[in-house]
A and B are shown apart, each in its own frame.
Chain A
Amino acid sequence: MKKVVDVSLPIGPIHPCFKEPCRIKCETSGERVLTTEVELGYVKKGIEKIMIGRPWQETIFLAERVCGICSVVHNTVIVEALEEISGITVSRRAKILRIILNELDRIQSHLLANYSYCYTIEHETLAMYLLNLRETAMDSIEMMTGTRVMSAYIVPGGVREDLSDENAAKILEATYTLETELKRYVKMFETGPMIALRSKGIGVLSAEDALASGVVGPTARANGLPRDAREADPLYHELGWHMILRTESDNFARIMLRFQELFQSVNIIRNGLAALEPGKIRNGGEMKAGRVKHTVEAPRGDLTYDIEIDSAGQVVFVSIQTPSIPNIEVASHAMMKNLASVADVTSTFISADPCIACAER
């Protein structure tokens, strides 16, 4: 059958809806969007290439700068990989502090994703509410680590700084602020008739496509696929983690799933603060040569580092597999297919929470 295409419409690379540069080429027939193609390559820096041949101490800082939004999880996964190579143990207090910081990072990342979505469907009021709430999480991160972004808090053997009791009390207070405010905003999102018109039944990812594409993170869990790397960590189970799944698999489900995960993260932080016992925050150890593949759940899905270190402490090989790669692919090929309107292209793309800097590195 001959395909009738009216206009090939480019969106981007600089577009009000995008935080980062990327280009979406849409083939349209009237207002209907037939197919889309995502063109990347605007923020390629070659981080893996830079890492090779450098001492492992430097790669920690480089790994953090793969992505600014989820810098904490990149820091966590490379440090945990290095610890796994050398057999360095981490005390329980340091482990819980890592989890608290990771969940705070997840809160700010999910809030930023939902802000972007609300901004894209032009519900600016809710978007600004969410962005303001994100500052509460950012203040907690700053209180804990000393800086807002790129904290370098997690070091081999533990964490850099201890959390004082008064700061712990302030973070506990912030979780209550987050929870009460979030309840209001989730109700606004869930019951808003206009939001439902722009979200429900749009950007549906079919079960076959989801299985075939290897989609990860909240995008997979909104499709009913139980994919979460936190499942393998017994400490997370102890702190009250459980798998959250939704089955609608449209834009609405993906955003609502992030809201539900926010409540869970708040809960994990509270349980973590309650479970903190006094103890050492940093253990010593000796770096050894070896190769390891380590996976941690980032805000967007499974983040894997495959890293090899030689006996001189230099990185011989490194490969980073970020969650945004499958999520962007599935967004462009399966979700943004046969959409009713061009306006749905950006909102569907943002609902998958693509992080271009992560995907290109």
Chain B
Amino acid sequence: MTVLQKLKNAVRKRSIHVCYVNTGSCNGCDIEILACLAPKYDIEQYGIYVHNNPREADVILVTGGMSTQWLDKLPDLWDRVPEPKAVVTIGNCPISGCVFNRPGKLIDPPVSKYIPVTAAVPGCPPRPSEIISAILGAADILFKDYEIHQKEKKGGSHK
């Protein structure tokens, strides 16, 4: 491992920019993400910053079970996120649609049909501590040695 890669790993571990996307949730999960910002949980002490801007995000937090309006917009938004990137879904809705997945619904779960999902936190809604541990756990695996993994994947050609 080069020195540069070590530096990148060290920096990325403490600088995870998060954007949350509500694709038809009841905002119960959204306020639990907001509660992570509160000094009680203090998400920023782990180096996670909630900017809510997809263009500078590393991790996208998806809540909700894909309402009709988001079917084309979410893959579009996913394309605009710079590499390396990951999706963590929060709550039951992105996994199964929860109570909304019944006859007469206007949602189309799961979210993984539309964008690649790295981790899912079930719960209706999950606690803020669970959300923080999920982001930290996913980011650790994903962003470590990212360039080396990319090289292996592309067969030596480095972008």
Interface residues of A (CB under 8 A from B): 13-16, 19-21, 41-47, 49-50, 52-54, 58, 61-62, 65-69, 71, 112, 128, 131-132, 134-135, 138, 148-150, 355-357
Q: Can you offer 8 A-B residue contacts whose CB atoms are under 8 A?
A: A14-B19, A19-B31, A21-B21, A45-B26, A45-B65, A50-B103, A71-B26, A135-B38
Inter-chain contacts of A148 with B (CB < 8 A): 32, 35, 125, 127
Most buried by B among A15, A21, A58, A61: A21
Whether B24 lies near A44 (C-beta < 8 A) is yes
Q: Which residues of chain A have C-beta atoms less than 8 A from B70's C-beta? A: 42
Contact of B37 among A13, A42, A44, A131 (CB under 8 A): A131
Q: Which 4 A-B pairs have the closest CB atoms?
A: A68-B28, A49-B104, A46-B106, A131-B38
Interface residue from B24, B27, B64, B69 paired with A67 (Cβ < 8 Å): B27
| CB-based nearest A residue for B107 | A45
Binds A, one of B47-55, B112-120, B135-143, B144-152: B47-55
Q: Is B89 an interface residue (CB 8 A)?
A: no
Chain B residues packing against A (C-beta within 8 Å): 19, 21-32, 34-35, 37-40, 51-54, 64-65, 67-70, 73, 77, 98-100, 102-107, 124-125, 127
Supposing A44-B67, A135-B38 touch, asked if A355 and B102 sit within 8 A by C-beta, the answer is no
**How distant is the Cα of A199 from the Cα of B68 in the complex, in angstroms?**
37
Q: Are A62 and B99 neighbours in the complex by a CB distance under 8 Å?
A: yes
B106 proximity list for chain A (CB < 8 A): 44-46, 49
Chain B residue numbers with a CB within 8 Å of A134 are 35, 38
Which residues of chain A are within 8 angstroms of B67 by Cβ–Cβ distance? 41-45
Residue of A nearest to B91 (CB): A68
Pairwise interchain contact A132-B22, C-beta atoms closer than 8 A: no
- In the bound complex, do residue B64 and residue A69 qualify as a contact, i.e. CB atoms below 8 Å apart? no
Given contacts A46-B105, A47-B100, A149-B125, contact A68 B35 (CB under 8 A): no
Q: What B residues does A69 contact at CB under 8 A? A: 27-28, 31
Asked whether A66 and B26 contact (CB < 8 A) given A14-B77, A50-B104, A131-B38, the answer is yes
Q: Which residues of chain B come closer than 8 Å to A61, judged between CB atoms?
A: 99
CB closest residue in chain B, given A149: B28
- Given A65-B99, A68-B125, A132-B38, A44-B28 contact (CB < 8 Å): no
- CB contact under 8 A between A19 and B27, given known A50-B100, A62-B99: yes
Instruction: Find chain B residues with CB under 8 A from A131 CB.
Output: 34-35, 37-39
Q: A50-B105, A128-B39, A131-B38 are in contact. Are A20 and B28 (CB under 8 A)?
A: no
In the docked arrangement, what's the CA distance between A138 and B27, Å?
16
Chain A, Cβ-Cβ closest to B37: A131
